[in-house]
Amino acid sequence: MASVALKNLCKKFGQTSVVKDVNVEIGDGEFLVFVGPSGCGKTTTLRMVVGLESLSEGEIHIGNRLVNNLPPGDRDVAMVFQNYALYSHMTVSRNLGFALKARGLAEKEITKRVQRVAKMLDLEELLERKPKQLSGGQRQRVALGRAVVRNPQVFLMDEPLSNLDALLRLQTRKELIELTTELNSTVIYVTHDQVEAMTMGHRLAVMNKGEVVQLDPPEKVFNEPANRFVAEFIGSPPMNFLDVEIAEENFQKILKSDAFDMVLPETWYSISESKAILGFRPHDARLVAEGGVSGRVTVVETLGAEKLVYLRVGKNSLSILVPATEKIRSGDQLRFDLNQDALHLFNREDEKRMPSTKQS
Partner 1 sequence: MRLFVIILIMFILLAPFLWILLASFRPNMELVRNQSLIPNSLTIENYVSLFSKSGYWQWIINSFIVAMYTVLISIPLIVAGAYSVYRTYFWGRNALSLFLLSVYIFPTALLVVPIFRIFNDLQLVDSHLGCALMNTAFAVPFGIWLLQAFLKSLPPELEEAAAVDGIGRMRTLMQIIIPQVAPGIIAIAMFAFIVSWTEYLFAMTLLLSNDLHTLPIGLTGIVFGQYRVNWGFAAAGAVGSAIPVFLLFLIVGRWFIRGISAGAIK
Ligand X SMILES: Nc1ncnc2c1ncn2[C@@H]1O[C@H](COP(=O)(O)OP(=O)(O)OP(=O)(O)O)[C@@H](O)[C@H]1O
For partner 1, the binding residues (CB under 8 A) are 50-52, 71-74, 77-79, 81, 83, 85, 87-89, 98-99, 102-103, 130-132, 146, 150
51 binds, among Mg ion, partner 1, ligand X, none (CB under 5 to 8 A by kind): partner 1
- Residues forming contacts to Mg ion in the complex (CB under 5 A) are 43
The helix-helix angle for 136-148 and 107-120 (nearest 10°) equals 130
Query: Using the rule CB under 6 A, which residue among 41, 152, 235, 282 binds ligand X?
Result: 41
Rule CB under 6 A: is residue 13 a binding residue for ligand X? yes
CA angle 40, 42, 47 (to 5 degrees): 135
Q: In the bound complex, what is the minimum distance in angstroms from residue 162's beta carbon to ligand X?
A: 9
Cβ atoms of 350 and 334 closer than 8 Å: no
Cα–Cα distance, 51 to 293 (Å, whole number): 54
192 binds, among ligand X, partner 1, Mg ion, none (CB under 5 to 8 A by kind): ligand X
What one-character DSSP code corresponds to residue 139? H
358 binds, among Mg ion, ligand X, partner 1, none (CB under 5 to 8 A by kind): none
Nearest CA-CA partner of 5 in 43, 49, 69: 49
Q: In the bound complex, what is the minimum distance in angstroms from residue 161's beta carbon to partner 1?
A: 16
Strand-strand pairing, 154-158 and 187-191:
parallel
Residue 38: Cβ within 10 Å count? 7
Q: 163-202: which residues touch ligand X (CB under 6 A)? A: 192
Rule CB under 6 A: is residue 156 a binding residue for ligand X? no
Cβ atoms of 215 and 203 closer than 8 Å: yes
Residue 192, helix vs strand vs coil:
coil
Q: In the bound complex, what is the minimum distance in angstroms from residue 81's beta carbon to partner 1?
A: 5
CA contacts within 13 A on the Cβ side of 80: 30
What one-character DSSP code corresponds to residue 216? E
* Closest CB to ligand X among residues 141, 192: 192
Rule CB under 6 A: is residue 18 a binding residue for ligand X? yes
* Closest CB to partner 1 among residues 150, 307: 150
104 binds, among Mg ion, ligand X, partner 1, none (CB under 5 to 8 A by kind): none
* Closest CB to Mg ion among residues 36, 279: 36
* Closest CB to partner 1 among residues 146, 203: 146
Cβ atoms of 46 and 22 closer than 8 Å: no
Kindly indicate which of the ranges 41-49, 180-188, 218-226, 309-317 contains the residues binding ligand X, using the contact rule CB under 6 A. Answer: 41-49
Cβ atoms of 335 and 292 closer than 8 Å: yes
Rule CB under 6 A: is residue 39 a binding residue for ligand X? yes
Q: Distance of CA 313 to CAs 29, 37, 117, 259, Å? A: 48, 29, 57, 6
Residues of this chain that interact with ligand X (CB under 6 A) are 13, 18, 36, 38-44, 192
